Amino acid sequence: QLPNDELKWEKNGNFNAGVDASFFDSRLNVSAEYFIRQSSNLLFSVPIPQSSGISSRMENIGTMKNNGIEIQLSGDVIRKEKFTWTMDLNLTSYKNEITKMPKDSEGKYQEIISGTKKLAVGHSIYDFWLRDYAGVDPANGDALYYYDDPTDGTKKTTNNRNLASYYYCGSAIPDVYGGFTNTFRAYGFDLTIFLSYQLGGKFYDGNYAGLMHTGNRGTHWSKDIMDSWTPENTDTDVPRVDYNNSNQSIASSRWLTDASYLSLRNITLGYTIPKKFIDKIGFSTIRVYALGDNLGLITKRKGMDPQQSIAGTADYTYVP
């Protein structure tokens, strides 16, 4: 790639304010924190004229801000001599915003389109920039997309990918995410169950998009293709199967899915052998245990794992 002798280190400024509190003889503990993190001199791959022979180069061009809250609750639901039940809950909610980009010759902030995102002042680096899917034409099974009619400014539909307009279509950032742990202890046994969760946010499921192609010999389909448009099945949001028709399956909001999930991340069951049985062999503690990781995942679409990318995208071949 082209060199850039003016590259600098990215810079970060942080502000945190929090409070810790304990209640009911330490049976309930609360920690809450508000944070602001501002990053400047951000490195981005900036498009340059094709005449250079290279499409882009790295530059320090942007400033970005994250701000939000983190809350952690921990408490003993039951605290007895031979039995305890402890619960821990943590949650995070934050916003991301680009606050500065380089300006063009007219003094306007520039914008950078990269895959499913458009980097622009006032928006997040996690905001999706896509054609907006409008469903299926019941008359012929064409995939429809929204566009802004330049003649009257109204929003209309078209089956032409080149006419379709691009819009911001939601963000990969969830409303809230975190973890939830239950720990039980009784008579030397201990059981810990850890779940993670996310509420809100969008996920661009490119793997699913690849399985809903318009026809390619020897390539798998998702079973959802069985609901595609036919003259007998006109009330559907799956366009007709039309081999090599690029309008029918392009990058659009059609592949955005609610990224909420509940994941059973870990279960651990253990037993600590009583001290009276191990003193004679010179051990202070012996604990035997069994554990399982990644035991279950509940999402809106079976097979989709929103945890795989903070940017809200799966590996896929991008179709512009």
pLDDT tens, 110-130? 888 888 999 899 999 999 999
Share of the chain above pLDDT 70, in %: 98
Q: Looking at residue 104, what is its pLDDT?
A: 75
| Averaged pLDDT score across all residues of the chain | 90
**pLDDT higher than 80, residue 47:** no
Q: Looking at residue 88, what is its pLDDT?
A: 97
Number of other residues whose CB lies within 10 A of the CB of residue 122: 10
Nearest to residue 140, comparing CAs of 246, 213, 224, 248?
Answer: 248
Nearest to residue 161, comparing CAs of 317, 313, 319?
Answer: 319
CA–chain centroid gap for 155, Å, is 29
Segment 259-265 shows an average pLDDT of 95
Q: Is 277 exposed, middle or buried (0-12, 13-18, 19+ CB in 10 A)?
A: exposed
Segment 208-232 shows an average pLDDT of 90
Segment 297-316 shows an average pLDDT of 81
Q: Looking at residue 153, what is its pLDDT?
A: 86
Number of other residues whose CB lies within 10 A of the CB of residue 78: 12
**pLDDT higher than 90, residue 105:** no
Q: Which residues of 303-320 are buried (b: 16+ CB within 10 A; e: fewer)?
A: ebbbbeeeebbbebeeee
Greater model confidence, 265 or 280: 265
Token pair in block for residue 200: 């809100």
Segment 5-16 shows an average pLDDT of 92
Q: Is 249 exposed, middle or buried (0-12, 13-18, 19+ CB in 10 A)?
A: buried
**pLDDT higher than 90, residue 72:** yes
Nearest to residue 8, comparing CAs of 48, 42, 44?
Answer: 42
Q: Looking at residue 318, what is its pLDDT?
A: 36
Segment 167-189 shows an average pLDDT of 96
pLDDT interval class at 166 (50, 70, 90): very high
Q: Looking at residue 26, what is its pLDDT?
A: 86
List all residues 6 or more positions away from 163 whose beta carbon is below 8 Å from its beta carbon: 145, 147
Token pair in block for residue 256: 């955005």
**pTM, 2 dp:** 0.84
Structural Rg of the chain based on CA atoms: 26
**pLDDT higher than 50, residue 3:** yes
Q: Looking at residue 314, what is its pLDDT?
A: 67
Q: Looking at residue 1, what is its pLDDT?
A: 73
Segment 207-220 shows an average pLDDT of 87
Q: Looking at residue 317, what is its pLDDT?
A: 39
Nearest to residue 195, comparing CAs of 285, 261, 288?
Answer: 261
Greater model confidence, 72 or 26: 72
**pLDDT higher than 70, residue 51:** yes
